[in-house]
Structure 1
């Protein structure tokens, strides 16, 4: 166990080991035992009564932030990195949605001018790859469906994790909720 020195004259906290405490002037201070994992940044101090509590909102903010960063990292693994790449996915998604109700015959019968105007990403890709316009757009739709499903799965896990952390009423319960996140959970 560590010791926490409350210095009311300075309104500061100092966490020390028992050994260091024996060599520290604690005149006018209150000394209390704290757990080894005590984080002074989460302490709520009542300087009048010299009591200590824990600010659970700080823990919520930290753990929820960690969940959101991890969710974002995992979501980005679904895509390639880069802002321009994100714009490419948006455009391909629009083209995939716009072509969803058209048959391959209709898509492949579009003139070069119409294909380039209506489906610029798919048209450019087909001219490079030699695929048909319908094949490129079918690939876009399949990729979009897979990435949309993965994003939905990760978003659901993220939301549930943050809610569970916020609902926990002790620092240990909040940490346990954070530690129990299953990023591989399926829907």
Structure 2
């Protein structure tokens, strides 16, 4: 049986299995806590301990965010530098695609850039093409595009995470917050 005790002067609450060993300045506070619950997630309402929505919300959000991160990392490489590299490569693919409809048009537009502009816009693609001994960045861009396609579940995971977190925050009761967390639909 778990009970809560309250310090008579400080008001501090602790949750304990028994009162043995506590001094007279501690007293039982409220009824016995329900079994199978985390005492720190409870609040005394009238004569009963109930789950406090404000206390369980951060825990539920952390659980959803942790699971989303675990799932995302199944598609991404670890490390902040690698994530920055992925973002830059995606930006290079996007800029490349914005230059025109055909490879000839795109390569002409790239050729019109100064060397400094090319390095700023296509640093990874230029390095990749040089490493592969290729005269243009076209194949490098296609390799980047292929890599992006292999991690296309990451946005869907992020969307499921955002939707679930919003539902948890919008719920007004502990039961509804837990239901929102349990209703998460992760992409397959």
TM-score, with length taken from structure 1: 0.71
Alignment of 1:57-136 (within 5 A): 57-100=54-97, 101-107=100-106, 114=115, 117=119, 118-131=121-134, 132-136=136-140
- State the distance in 2 between where 1:122 and 1:16 align: 61
Deviation at 1:92, TM superposition (A): 1.3
Deviation at 1:85, TM superposition (A): 1.5
- State the distance in 1 between where 2:73 and 2:52 align: 32
Instruction: Between 71-80 and 55-64, report the one with greater CA deviation.
Output: 71-80
Cα 1:103/1:83, change in 2 over 3 Å: same
User: Per-residue displacement from partner, 1:13-66 (whole Å, max 9, x unpaired)?
Assistant: 45455xx579989995355233222222123246xx665443211111111122
Cα 1:125/1:34, change in 2 over 3 Å: same
Alignment of 1:146-165 (within 5 A): 147=151, 149-165=152-168
SS at match of 1:79: coil
- State the distance in 2 between where 1:21 and 1:108 align: 79
SS at match of 2:124: helix
Alignment root-mean-square deviation, CA: 3.6
Q: Does 1:144 align with 2:148?
A: yes
Matched positions, count = 179
- State the distance in 2 between where 1:173 and 1:97 align: 41
- State the distance in 2 between where 1:155 and 1:24 align: 48
User: Per-residue displacement from partner, 1:57-104 (whole Å, max 9, x unpaired)?
Assistant: 111111112212222333344322222222222221221111113522
User: Per-residue displacement from partner, 1:80-136 (whole Å, max 9, x unpaired)?
Assistant: 22222222222212211111135223455766x859535221121112123452121
SS at match of 1:44: strand
- State the distance in 2 between where 1:14 and 1:124 align: 60
Alignment of 1:18-33 (within 5 A): 20=18, 29-30=28-29, 32-33=31-32
Q: Show structure 1 runs of 5+ residues with no match.
A: none
